[in-house]
Structure 1
Amino acid sequence: MTNTAIALRDLDTALAAVVEAQLRDGEVRGLEPDDLLSVMDAAASVVRRAEALLVDTVGEVDARSDQRDLSVRMTTTYGCRSVRELVERTTRFSSRRAGELIAAGRAVRRTTSLASGEVLPAAFPALREALVAGCVGVDGVIAVAGALGSVRVGRDAILAADEELAAAARGDGVDGAPPLPAEELRAQALVWAAYLDQDGPEPRDARAMRKRGITLGVCRDGLVPVRGELLPETAGQLQRIFDSVNNPKLDGPAGPCFTPDGEEDAADPDAVCDTRTRTQKQHDALATALTIAAASGQLPTIGGAAPTLVVSARRSDLEAGIGSAHVQGIDEPVSIAVARQIACTGGIERVTFDQSGRIIAITVNDRVFTHSQRKAIVLRDGECIIPGCRVPAAWCEIHHVIEAARGGPTHTDNGVLLCWFHHRTIDTGGWKVRMNHGVPEILGPVWWEPAQIWRPTTKSPTRRRDLLEAAHPR
């Protein structure tokens, strides 16, 4: 073992004693705010200095694995397919983290000239010095190298940007600002890239157009992984859709919120009680946008019809409410509850087979509300009728309060506006809906409505004016 490794092991032992005292004995909980930040700052400094060693060693492993002769590659010697795999196995980091270390290593690694044996400077020498000094970590190196690495300009220009950004990371830049975190370093590096790139964004746009794409993975455990890269304008439009559906709600139901385990969360008793995570909300917003797009009539047809989601299930399973259904194009089955929710907003086509599998009858039961019915329901309800939800009417689905399978008609007296999320969870989310002589009424969860009273609901400004005038006649 080298002296460096021995010194690091000793440091690790000393650090372990500190961590033991702070975490196992609960000393952190007793710290004053200034002391908490001081500990956080010191721990981050230790991490950055450790990352400097990691980056340099990973860079050397990368260099020793970049050999034409497979037999002398370091990855081959240790039985790994790639540098990333070797780093993962050695550090026990994730694949993404290992990739970041490799990229950072390539940005600040010093190479040796094959002709003279001279040690050559790193691609970003000033950034390397900031890394060694503990002023910047892996994320900061990636922020700078990622922004400037693809800029096609002279070496002198890159070095000038490198010096300026390294100074900003140290906190001794020309503006005298304190040391910048990685995100702000990246923002400044992007400004430098735009300044140095005399050809403008066109070459980057061409590369981005070639690399854009989305891939749907194989359904596993009820989820389909999505991978890919979006063009900036596409990502921006998608983000705007997320924002429009998931905008902050300021007048939602007040009351105690609950954790996913069902425990009451008293930390914020007046918060809007939506237990979805941000990523779950974005998924639901995307589902809403896809549903609206498919129903818009502006997409190309498939087989002469709109791109319709087709879900199949056996009649016996639908009637019993148990069993499985199948979404066309997805291998893994879904629950009958999913099939019933999807059928609530669409039509049902019953296909009857004989014992040999021959189709002997096709019956279409059109359960889709007409445009006129939808306009009337929108005028009555305004938007998603669940209190606190502000998804507009144009993005809502119409829910059959009494399912058509149980005799519920496709009539304005039996349809209400619900957003994709509340429509999907109306049977399990604690909210109940009923119609009282054609007027929607809501029964909220106990935490929201302790008295458990059915209350009329509407978010239509016209209807609200009528109700106000009825309650306060002039």
Structure 2
Amino acid sequence: MEALLDHLEGAIEQARAHVTQALGDGQILAASDDQVVRALSLAAELQRLTDAVLVESVGEVSRRSSGPDRDLRLTARRGCHDVSELVQRATRMGPASAARLQRGAKGVALGESLSGGPLPALLPALRSALLEGEVGIDGLIAVSGPLEPMSQRVPLESLRVADAVLAAEACGTGPDGAPPACADLLRVQAQVWAAALDQDGAEPKEQQAMRMRGVTLGVARDGVVPLRGSLLPEVAAQFQRICDAIGSPRVGDGVSFRPEGEGEGEGEGDSGFADDPRTSAQKRHDALATALSVAASSEQLPTIGGAAPTLVISVRAEDLVSDTGWAHVDGIDEPVSARAAAHVGCAGVIQRVLLGDNGRIQRIGTEERVFNRHQRRAIALRDGGCIIPGCGVRAAWCEIHHVTDHAEGGPTHTDNGVLLCWNHHRFIDHGGWQIRMNRGVPEVKAPPWIERNPRWRPVTTSRTRLLDLVARRT
């Protein structure tokens, strides 16, 4: 071991001198493509050898820190609470990297017999590949992650077969002659081996997953409510499909056209605006908001008090008209903006309650459904989907927006309603897009930062209307 330490110290000094000399003055800028790629490959090989020393050392630290007498543990003798703290202090790593080394060491660490001699690792072939620098910490975890947990349920001989095959794939010495497998490919292959060997493992894993599932809503703060939890894989997959369908704009579906009677060229071209400043996390939020809105309006959810699940937002009439002040959401302590109330009211149901100066209820109005299902179908036929060019959200996922606001006397009529996705509907007032109705046909104008000379354009993605347009032009 002393010789290894001497070699490591010497290698570090040599590597430091060469790296400082070669990279310090920017020589890599003059390197050829082959030299850059070769440097990357050699550095990765050196990193894998370093990973071997790290994993082996962390495994031994864990073994020496697992005794029943706390005072005799290596961690206690170094003044650390646990293995993670010792590793972080010795390596300057963060807790996540320290945890990865601990996980990786479980499958390849040597044991100690009663006589003090070494016992073979659980995955000896993978250990050999690690020591030879053929597999690093990513590949190690990719293989040992699926295999190590089932060691108590699967015969050791079967586990060793999977270990040998996967180690050969990692080294590029498999029977099919494929090149060394990357970590992601090793993970897939290891999961297949685990599923084949551990037929009874699915049920306890399913039970564990059912216990761990859950979603928690935090306390509203700074205008948002924190959301955290764990989804079952199939639920997460369904949510991802919804996000893919809603949150991934398609360019070119927002087709502009020239209605009957307009001048040649008016409203033609430049239809495929595509500018979405939202982050991926914001897109997932908006997809969830859309899915919740669609589900609540589907009339297929269980009722509450005899009515469909309804989001109740209260706001003073003068605040709603002036777009100032606050609104209050039933079930959430923190108030929201009047704009949020206007967005919900535009797509939902409004009921007016008149209170006297002393707080007495003087009049309760009837619920006014903004657009009925017949109007919605007609608007969907006319617009096809969200009318903002380049958005691409389908009609079934859209809300109906009053072009002239309902609170300002805008009628609940097809000549005053257009399809907008949740995102564009929520932020239409300050997103820069303008909408107007021209003889019952919606027109939009892009923000100046998207189009140098914005102009009004009729828009639709309705396949029926586009087919009719083509027929008229031909």
Shorter chain as normaliser: what TM range? 0.7 to 0.9
Which runs of structure 2 are paired with 1:289-438 in the superposition (5 Å)? 289-315=291-317, 317-350=319-352, 362-363=364-365, 366-438=368-440
Q: 2:442: which partner in 1?
A: 440
Q: Distance in 1 between matches of 2:307 and 2:351?
A: 14
**What is the CA-CA distance between 1:251 and the residue it aligns to?**
2.1
User: For residues 30 and 209 of structure 1, do their structure 2 counterparts lie closer, same or farther at Cα, with a shift above 3 Å needed?
Assistant: same
Q: 1:105: which partner in 2?
A: 105
Q: Distance in 1 between matches of 2:354 and 2:95?
A: 50
Q: 2:214: which partner in 1?
A: 213
Q: Distance in 2 between matches of 1:15 and 1:340?
A: 64
User: For residues 252 and 20 of structure 1, do their structure 2 counterparts lie closer, same or farther at Cα, with a shift above 3 Å needed?
Assistant: farther
Q: Distance in 2 between matches of 1:356 and 1:51?
A: 74
- Per-residue CA shift, 1:267-324, capped at 9, x if unaligned? xxx9943333444333322222222112111112233332223334455544443444
Equivalent AA in structure 2 for residue 38 of structure 1: R
Alpha carbons 2:249, 2:390 under 8 Å: kept:
no
Q: 2:184: which partner in 1?
A: 183
Q: Distance in 2 between matches of 1:198 and 1:241?
A: 32
1:159 counterpart = 2:160: yes
Q: 1:267: which partner in 2?
A: none
User: For residues 7 and 278 of structure 1, do their structure 2 counterparts lie closer, same or farther at Cα, with a shift above 3 Å needed?
Assistant: farther
Alpha carbons 1:347, 1:364 under 8 Å: kept:
no
- Per-residue CA shift, 1:423-447, capped at 9, x if unaligned? 2232333322111122100112335
**What is the CA-CA distance between 1:157 and the residue it aligns to?**
0.8
457, 461, 474: which one aligns with 1:455: 457
User: For residues 331 and 211 of structure 1, do their structure 2 counterparts lie closer, same or farther at Cα, with a shift above 3 Å needed?
Assistant: same
Alpha carbons 2:254, 2:460 under 8 Å: kept:
no
Alpha carbons 2:215, 2:228 under 8 Å: kept:
yes
Equivalent AA in structure 1 for residue 440 of structure 2: G
User: For residues 331 and 162 of structure 1, do their structure 2 counterparts lie closer, same or farther at Cα, with a shift above 3 Å needed?
Assistant: farther
Equivalent AA in structure 2 for residue 214 of structure 1: V
Secondary structure, aligned partner of 1:214: strand
TM-score with structure 2 length normalisation? 0.83
Deviates more, 1:159-168 or 1:284-293: 284-293
Alpha carbons 2:254, 2:459 under 8 Å: kept:
no
Deviates more, 1:158-167 or 1:361-370: 361-370
Q: Distance in 2 between matches of 1:204 and 1:432?
A: 52
Q: 1:262: which partner in 2?
A: none
**What is the CA-CA distance between 1:23 and the residue it aligns to?**
6.4
- Per-residue CA shift, 1:210-267, capped at 9, x if unaligned? 333333344454444443333332233223223322456252689xxxxxxxxxxxxx
**What is the CA-CA distance between 1:200 and the residue it aligns to?**
7.1
Q: Distance in 1 between matches of 2:30 and 2:254?
A: 36
- Per-residue CA shift, 1:390-440, capped at 9, x if unaligned? 211111111122222233222211111111222223233332211112210
Q: 1:231: which partner in 2?
A: 232
Secondary structure, aligned partner of 1:150: helix
Which runs of structure 2 are paired with 1:5-84 in the superposition (5 Å)? 15=15, 25-75=25-75, 82-84=82-84
Alpha carbons 2:254, 2:461 under 8 Å: kept:
no
Q: Distance in 2 between matches of 1:88 and 1:303?
A: 56
User: For residues 100 and 385 of structure 1, do their structure 2 counterparts lie closer, same or farther at Cα, with a shift above 3 Å needed?
Assistant: same
User: For residues 162 and 297 of structure 1, do their structure 2 counterparts lie closer, same or farther at Cα, with a shift above 3 Å needed?
Assistant: same
Equivalent AA in structure 2 for residue 131 of structure 1: L
Q: Distance in 2 between matches of 1:392 and 1:203?
A: 41
User: For residues 106 and 470 of structure 1, do their structure 2 counterparts lie closer, same or farther at Cα, with a shift above 3 Å needed?
Assistant: same
Secondary structure, aligned partner of 2:145: helix
Higher relative CO (CA 8 A, sep ≥ 6), structure 1 or 2?
2
Alpha carbons 1:112, 1:119 under 8 Å: kept:
yes
Alpha carbons 2:301, 2:309 under 8 Å: kept:
yes
Equivalent AA in structure 2 for residue 127 of structure 1: L
Equivalent AA in structure 1 for residue 415 of structure 2: D
Q: Distance in 2 between matches of 1:31 and 1:252?
A: 45
Q: Distance in 2 between matches of 1:7 and 1:355?
A: 87
Deviates more, 1:376-385 or 1:424-433: 424-433
User: For residues 275 and 125 of structure 1, do their structure 2 counterparts lie closer, same or farther at Cα, with a shift above 3 Å needed?
Assistant: same
Q: 1:282: which partner in 2?
A: 284
User: For residues 469 and 59 of structure 1, do their structure 2 counterparts lie closer, same or farther at Cα, with a shift above 3 Å needed?
Assistant: same
Give the fraction of aligned pairs with identical amino acids, expressed as a percent: 52
- Per-residue CA shift, 1:35-63, capped at 9, x if unaligned? 22222222222332232233233323333
Q: Distance in 1 between matches of 2:193 and 2:335?
A: 51
Aligned-residue CA RMSD in angstroms? Answer: 3.3
User: For residues 356 and 250 of structure 1, do their structure 2 counterparts lie closer, same or farther at Cα, with a shift above 3 Å needed?
Assistant: closer
Secondary structure, aligned partner of 2:176: coil
**What is the CA-CA distance between 1:130 and the residue it aligns to?**
1.5
Q: Distance in 2 between matches of 1:301 and 1:134?
A: 61
User: For residues 31 and 419 of structure 1, do their structure 2 counterparts lie closer, same or farther at Cα, with a shift above 3 Å needed?
Assistant: farther
Q: Distance in 2 between matches of 1:361 and 1:80?
A: 69
Q: Distance in 2 between matches of 1:218 and 1:97?
A: 31
Q: Distance in 2 between matches of 1:9 and 1:409?
A: 80
User: For residues 17 and 283 of structure 1, do their structure 2 counterparts lie closer, same or farther at Cα, with a shift above 3 Å needed?
Assistant: farther
Secondary structure, aligned partner of 2:119: coil
Q: How many residues align?
A: 455
User: For residues 253 and 466 of structure 1, do their structure 2 counterparts lie closer, same or farther at Cα, with a shift above 3 Å needed?
Assistant: closer
**What is the CA-CA distance between 1:142 and the residue it aligns to?**
1.4
Max Rg structure = 2
User: For residues 373 and 36 of structure 1, do their structure 2 counterparts lie closer, same or farther at Cα, with a shift above 3 Å needed?
Assistant: same
Q: Distance in 2 between matches of 1:335 and 1:435?
A: 27
Q: 2:116: which partner in 1?
A: 117
TM-score with structure 1 length normalisation? 0.83
